Amino acid sequence: MRGLLAKRMRFHLLGAFLVSAGASALFKFGVAEPRKRAYAEFYKHYDPAKDFEAMKAAGVLESAPPK
């Protein structure tokens, strides 16, 4: 029984570190990178003036009423 706590603690600390590193890598490559690519692709062809005119024509903006 001597040294059991230290031995178990070392095992669980290593396991916790590996699980957290795996989860962070999975999030980075499974969520963050695809999200960055999607935003870059969206803003590559985005025209804010055209979008403003469409919202203005639809009557969404109170400060810029439709004509």
- Give the domains, in start order, of the chain with CATH numbers: 4-58 (4.10.93.10)
Is 46 within 8 Å of 38 (Cβ atoms)?
no
Whole-prediction pTM: 0.66
pLDDT confidence of residue 15: 97
pLDDT confidence of residue 1: 81
pLDDT confidence of residue 2: 87
Is 66 within 8 Å of 59 (Cβ atoms)?
yes
Summarize pLDDT for 3-48 with one digit per residue, the tens: 899 999 999 999 999 999 999 999 999 999 999 999 999 999 999 9
Enumerate the H helices of the chain as residue ranges. Answer: 4-27, 33-44, 48-58
